Amino acid sequence: MKRMIDVVVALILLIAGSFLFLLIYGLIRWRIGAPVIFRQERPGLYERPFMLYKFRTMTDDRDEYGELLADHLRLTKTGALIRKLSLDELPQLINVLKGDISLVGPRPLLMEYLPMYTEEQARRHLVMPGMTGWAQVNGRNHISWEEKFAYDIWYVEHQSFWLDLKILWMTMLKVIKTEGVQQPHHATAKKFKGTDT
């Protein structure tokens, strides 16, 4: 049932939003350059890796040693606006169609975080990751990593059709209000470095 809803909704959104996709694609190509789509390996269900798609929002500018500059130096004004409106997430509808992720579930994070999780935190991978989740509608990037993981585990233990509908509705309100997109004093989310136990 959940998979069927994912496919139907993702298809409708991709078709209805095709003009918006082309508009964002052209804007990024013009203002930031190629490639327009950012691809990164992320852990999916049971930690199986897949390639996540997002609209690119940062340049590849590097220092004299060939190292990427800090995120706030590479995040362009166009990219910041796209992030603020959560439009960078739209290509993940393709991930939904492919079966990599669901519309609702714990957000797929970086592969490098896997060895840092506690046994309890790792339970977030017992369900399909999602474009949005319980942590996203309860603070997103304004709460600590530990709080995010606690919300993820709560979702794992309480997931249902009606909870998913509630999360989707709350997500739409959050996007409209542009709440919780950035952590205070950070251009992007601060990296997870493990939980002290």
pTM: 0.87
> 15 is written with which tokens?
């078709």
Bridge partner list, 52? 40
Q: Residue 18: its pLDDT value, please? A: 93
> 35 is written with which tokens?
């490639």
Q: How far apart are the first and last CA of the chain?
A: 39
CA dist 147 and 136 (Å) reads 11
3-state secondary structure of 62: strand
Q: Tokens 């999360």, residue?
A: 167
CA dist 192 and 172 (Å) reads 26
CA dist 35 and 5 (Å) reads 31
CA dist 190 and 41 (Å) reads 18
Indicate the domain borders of the chain: 2-177
Q: Per-residue pLDDT for the chain (197 aa), expressed as one digit of tens each?
A: 899 999 999 999 999 999 999 999 999 999 888 999 999 999 999 999 999 999 999 988 888 887 888 888 888 888 899 988 889 999 999 999 999 999 999 999 999 999 999 999 999 999 999 999 999 999 887 899 999 999 999 999 999 999 999 999 999 998 887 765 555 545 567 888 888 65
In whole angstroms, how far apart are CA 187 and each of 50, 115, 183? 25, 25, 7
Tell me how many degrees the CA angle 148-104-180 measures, rounded to the nearest 5: 45
Return all residues near 5 (Cβ < 8 A) that are at least 6 apart: 103
- The secondary structure element, H or E, covering residue 75 is none
